[in-house]
Amino acid sequence: MRVLSGIQPSGKLHLGNYLGAIRQHIELQHEHPNDALYFIANYHSLTTVRDPELLRQLTRDVALDYLALGLDPTKAMLFRQSDIPEVTELAWILATVTGKGLLERAHSYKDKIARGIAPSMGLMSYPLLMAADILIYRSNLVPVGRDQVQHIEMTQDMAGYFNNTYKCDILVRPEPRLNNAHVVPGIDGQKMSKSYGNTIDLFDAPKPTRKRIMSIKTDSTSVEDPKNPESCNVFALLRLLASKDEITEWEQRYRAGGMGYGDAKKRVAELYEETFGQARDRREKLASDPDSVEDILVEGAKRARTIAREVMHDVRNACGLVIAPELHP
């Protein structure tokens, strides 16, 4: 059972990334040792990041964050998307069997256009590259949030288009593994997102992180009055970070009154430090040894590319593509 996921290096990773994806990725490496692949999607980031040095730095940052948070390179493959050139080759082949209408129906494409992002061909063909990312490793499970299920369904369609066109079963149909985490609110109450500027970054220093948490938007209910935990952004974060017993205790305090939102915010800041403080220290040590981090990425890419080459060999044969063996060892 092969598990695959990727994350874009388009900005600093934040609490929403961790609770929505990274935590699940770390858990899955233990469930599927040596069959978990996690790539840093730097090709995808080219639709928004146009500063080459910034992209290189953000790519390194993602690697550091994953390793600091517990990714074990002896159990999972961590690598850069751009180290697997077969991915873009497969994306083109998928483009030749996929109708334009399927791409135009992508929710993410329509959402980005609605937000004023220029409709580049890269943005429109994003699902092709994402499908290639998944299919090139014959992935069985792809852990995603509900907002990404359509991309997996499109990948399933593309695998079917290819297999039907060339009368084969080379490309494996992947299935989504849904993440059950609640939507993580940002400091303004909207979904936490880099594009909204409302994030709590994973590895900022403690003081600015605490200041950010203390600025979370709340209503004007007085300290004495009861409060509704279900509509409170601070409680939503408590629910994701605290133990079950502590969550129950905070819920009772909310409903009883006599507690200010500041008390809950302070506890979120404490839980945040308890969760990420040691990982921050590990990250600093990793950052001081960039060669070791690079070695991990290279070794992960070598292992992943072995799979990708096997798949592309079968894909080329099915299509009738002829290549010179001496050019493709």
Pick the catalytic residue from 191, 211, 227, 244. 191
Q: What is the pLDDT of residues 216-226, one digit of tens each?
A: 999 999 999 99
Whole domain around residue 230: which residue ranges? 203-285
Q: Around 226, how many Cα atoms within 13 Å sit in the side-chain half-sphere? A: 6
Q: Would residue 99 count as lying in a domain?
A: yes
**DSSP state string for 175-222:** EEEE--PPPPB-TTSSBP-GGGT---BSSS-HHHHHHHHHT-------
Indicate the number of domains in the chain: 2
47 and 104 fall within a common domain:
yes
38 and 142 fall within a common domain:
yes
234 and 88 fall within a common domain:
no
Residue 167 appears among annotated catalytic residues: no
* Residue 76, burial from CB neighbour count under 10 angstroms (0-12, 13-18, 19+): buried
17 and 134 fall within a common domain:
yes
pLDDT of residue 253: 96
254 and 278 fall within a common domain:
yes
294 and 281 fall within a common domain:
no
320 and 220 fall within a common domain:
no
- Sequence-distant (6+) residues with CB within 8 A of 112 are 123
Cα distance between residue 131 and residue 93, in whole Å: 11
pLDDT of residue 222: 94
126 and 25 fall within a common domain:
yes
Q: Would residue 113 count as lying in a domain?
A: yes
pLDDT of residue 155: 97
Q: Would residue 196 count as lying in a domain?
A: no
CATH number at 275 reads: 1.10.240.10
pLDDT of residue 180: 65
252 and 305 fall within a common domain:
no
Q: Would residue 189 count as lying in a domain?
A: no
Residue 112 appears among annotated catalytic residues: yes
* Residue 75, burial from CB neighbour count under 10 angstroms (0-12, 13-18, 19+): middle
CATH number at 318 reads: 3.40.50.620
Q: Would residue 169 count as lying in a domain?
A: yes
Residue 265 appears among annotated catalytic residues: no
3-state secondary structure (DSSP) of residue 36: strand
7 and 85 fall within a common domain:
yes
pLDDT of residue 329: 62
Pick out the chain residues at pLDDT < 50: none
Buried b (16+ CB within 10 A) or exposed e, 302-328: ebbbebbbebbeebbebbeeeeeeeee
34 and 175 fall within a common domain:
yes
Helices (H) and strands (E) in the chain, counts: 15, 5
Q: Would residue 190 count as lying in a domain?
A: no
Query: What is the distance in angstroms between the CA of the first residue and the CA of the last residue of the chain?
Result: 28
pLDDT of residue 6: 95
Q: Would residue 253 count as lying in a domain?
A: yes
Q: Would residue 188 count as lying in a domain?
A: no
Question: Tokens at residue 260, please?
Answer: 């200010």
143 and 25 fall within a common domain:
yes
